[in-house]
Amino acid sequence: MRDRQKRYLCFAFIVQLVWGLDTQAENIFRAGDSISTASVHRIIHQTYKDVLGREPDGAGLSTYTDYLVHEGKDADWLQHVLRESREGQAVRQRKIRQRITLVFILIFVIVGCILAGVFRRQLARCFRLALDGITPKGKQYLAGSVFLSPVFVFLSLILFYVFIKSEPPDGWILCGLVVTVGMIAARMPRWIVYTVVIGAFVALLGWSVFVDANRSHDATSDRDDAVEIGAKALLAGENPWTSKSILNLPITTGPSSILVAVPFVRAVGKINPLTFFMWCVFVATIVFADIRCRNNSFLTVCVLLLLPWSGFRHTMHWSLDELYYAAILAPFLWFALSRQHLVFAGVLGGFMILSRLSYAPAVLATGMWWLFQKRRRFKEILRVAWGGTGYVLIVLLLFFLVGGADFIQDNFWNTSQMPCLNSDNNALSAFVTFLLSAFPQSTLGSAILVLIVTTVAAWGMRSMRHPFYHMAVASLLAHTVSFSPAYRMDYQLIFLIPALYGICFCSLPLPLSGHEVVDADDAEADACVQAGLRG
């Protein structure tokens, strides 16, 4: 009996031992299999990131796990398969285009530095004159008191009436107006008044650009977002005009605006600093014009801008500033033509046209003003044309290399088509609509009509010593005849900004104070009108 129990115990021990070893082996095998699968998953994830720049989807992870675990494939095989796939080829091409984009941006930076070096004397002279009060008479002008011109008083009364019950920021503007009038009444020196007004205006710009423009209403306006999306697409090596704005609308921004926005979008992801910088350039230009021409225009222009009907506050609130980058740079085109920097003038003209196609009539009107001033040599015309054509071709080549065939199909020309004027609400609009019916029924037909009217207007204003009213008239025609905007206040500043520059650089100096009057034949004041910065 004891021998049988011993046999049973030995048999049970052997079975338990064998079963235990088998279970342990199975557990070891399963643990090894789990470790192997985890390692394969890490390899697949890392290869996807390296080659395609993304995480693998479920199907891809499962498929390539089977290949690597059960069919003996390795990481090199997986990398080769992903690289040669359709997505891998597209990623490779995008990286190539991205490198091309960065190279061209570097070229533009180098060319900009070269131009700055070529014109360093003129730039240094501009800054030196500005810091020195422009001229001795400019210093005397800044030391004098501000004259309350009738236009400024009239506009101030309107602004006071409109803003007396308003909340900030309009309430702040009203307080600033009262303080300004108080300083003028106290006969403080002009430089103190201007310093306070410039500081207040820049503070208003900063609040509008960095605070107000980023509130909840910004989600219903896509003008600035379209520029940022276009710049990000270009940096990614993609055609900007195949993208959509946050409102799912086509991007109408021109190539120049996208190129200017690229450094800011790359650095901070937004164009708000660029917008702030451009408006500061505008303020500096109108101050420079006032001091140089000594016509008491700075405060008048500020009040005109702050009126609710000018469109300036509307623009700042809805982040429409990108529409006006080219208009803000208009004086530099005038200066370049006046100082005979003709190639540079051509580049500026090309930049303005490619920032927005609707600026083409304004640039053309400026060219007509330059041609009608006096007889120009063919060599001079050729230099302007060479600068403008060269800029346009280089920029278009850049975007073609980035976008390829997509750029031919989707570009700023196709996305910026807008309806022409078609209205019989009054006699004038009905007459213009009737004239448009005689031309091809497209943007081309309205462009022909705008060209004809712009040429007639430029000939009629050929005696003017600056082209700003030419620009204003041409832009007004472009945005009422060729481009009939659905939003009335969105495009006003395109033709108002050149008109304001016309006021600032006017040839009829205004009284400096209650007792002083500048001679209308003063050579220094007249020089700024005849030849830009030439003194």
Q: How confident is the model at residue 513 (pLDDT cuts 50, 70, 90)?
A: very low
What's the whole-number average pLDDT of the chain? 80
Q: Is the pLDDT of residue 236 over 90?
A: no
The tokens describing 258, both together, are 């996208």
Closest CA to 298 of 435, 454, 141: 141
Buried b (16+ CB within 10 A) or exposed e, 340-362: ebbbbbbbbbbbbbbbbbbbbbb
Query: Three-state SS for 77?
Result: helix
Which residue in the block uniquely carries the two structure tokens 């120009």? 376
Q: Is the pLDDT of residue 74 over 60?
A: yes
CA distances from 298 to 97, 485, 499, 500 (A): 46, 30, 13, 10
Looking at residue 435, its pLDDT comes to 83
Q: How confident is the model at residue 412 (pLDDT cuts 50, 70, 90)?
A: confident
Looking at residue 469, its pLDDT comes to 94
Q: How confident is the model at residue 111 (pLDDT cuts 50, 70, 90)?
A: low
Looking at residue 339, its pLDDT comes to 86
354-377 pLDDT tens trace = 998 889 999 999 999 999 988 899
- The alpha helices in 119-149, defined as continuous H runs, are 120-131, 136-143
379 in Cβ contact with 208 (< 8 Å): no
282 in Cβ contact with 321 (< 8 Å): no
Q: Is the pLDDT of residue 498 over 90?
A: yes
> Structural domain boundaries of the chain?
2-48+56-84, 94-531
115-163 pLDDT tens trace = 656 555 655 555 555 544 456 777 788 888 888 888 899 999 999 999 8
134 in Cβ contact with 534 (< 8 Å): no
Q: Is the pLDDT of residue 100 over 70?
A: no
CA distances from 151 to 106, 183, 412, 511 (A): 48, 18, 41, 12
Q: How confident is the model at residue 31 (pLDDT cuts 50, 70, 90)?
A: very low
Q: What is the pTM of this model?
A: 0.74
Looking at residue 342, its pLDDT comes to 92
Looking at residue 517, its pLDDT comes to 38
Q: Is the pLDDT of residue 522 over 70?
A: no
